[in-house]
Structure 1
Amino acid sequence: MEIRIPKTALVLLVGASGSGKSSFAKKHFAQYETVSSDACRGIVSNDENNQAASNDAFELFYYIISMRLKKGLLTVADAT
């Protein structure tokens, strides 16, 4: 099965931790197309698992997504 995605689209990969969202994104999308809430958590706290940093991480996550969409870029949101 092949799914065609427009060049300007927001793809949401949402699910439980460990369900394969990030693995799916790495397999099917280019490196910079995917915005990961875990990666944003790591950027703001040096620890992708630091749940105390989630508020700041999601602020960054939403900002990056909005900037990519503003530029008309395919954007994949990878979040729990």
Structure 2
Amino acid sequence: TEIRKLHAADRRRQIVISETLRADHRRSTEIIGLRTALQGQVTALQGHVIALQAQVTALQGQQGLAGGPTQPELPEEAGIVFSID
């Protein structure tokens, strides 16, 4: 009977191990899907950043062509006067 008890305990352990491996596989599959989705979002955000950088560059070019200041002027209250002769 001791051997039967050991076999039963061994079967229970094998069931637990099998269930744990199945759960681990499900989690791994879920992680792969989440990682893929996240990578897609990162790629999309990189595209947005590139587009925004292009817009900034275009706006800076327009400011330069218009002869406007590329830096905001200081208010007179600052007490600093710049003159270009």
The higher-RCO structure (CA 8 Å, 6+ apart) is 1
- Scaled by the length of structure 1, the TM-score of the pair is 0.30
> Is the radius of gyration larger for structure 1 or structure 2?
2
- Scaled by the length of structure 2, the TM-score of the pair is 0.28
Instruction: Point out the structure with the larger strand share.
Output: 1
